[in-house]
Chain A
Amino acid sequence: MSEEDISEFLAQFGEAQEIASISGEMSFLSALFYPVLTGGWSGFFASLALIPALLIGLNFSDKIKNANNELIDANPTSISNPIILKIFGFLFFILVVINFFSAVRELVQIYYLIYFEELLLFIKDLLIQIFLTIVGFAIASLYFQPERVNITVDKSSTVAEDLIALLTFGLKVPLALATMLSQTIIFYGVYLLFFGFISFFIGGAEGQLLDGIATLMVGAFAPLVFYLLFLFLFPIFNLYLAILHIPKIGKDN
Chain B
Amino acid sequence: MMDKYLDMINIKIDVVFSFIEKVSAFCFDKLSVLLTKANSWVIAIAVVLLIILTIDAAFYIGDAS
Q: How many residue-residue contacts, CB under 8 A, span A and B? A: 114
A51 touches B49 (CB 8 A): no
Shortest Cβ distance from residue A187 to the other chain B in the assembled complex, whole angstroms: 5
A46, A50, A55, A142 pick with most chain B CB within 10 angstroms: A50
Residues of B contacting A184 in the complex (Cβ-Cβ under 8 angstroms): 31, 35
B54 close to A90 (CB less than 8 A)? no
A204-238 toward B: CB 8 Å interface, digit per residue (1/0)?
00000000010010000000000000000000000
A142 to B60, CA, bound (A): 49
Q: If the complex has contacts A40-B62, A41-B61, A186-B39, are A135 and B52 also in contact, measured as CB distance less than 8 A?
A: no
The residues of A with any CB-CB pair to B shorter than 8 Å are 36, 38-44, 46-48, 50-51, 54-55, 58, 86, 89-90, 93, 134-135, 137-138, 140-145, 180, 183-184, 186-187, 189-190, 193-194, 197, 201, 213, 216
Give me the interface of B with A, judged by CB distance under 8 Å: 17, 20-21, 23-25, 27-28, 30-32, 35-36, 38-39, 42-43, 45-47, 49-54, 56-58, 60-64
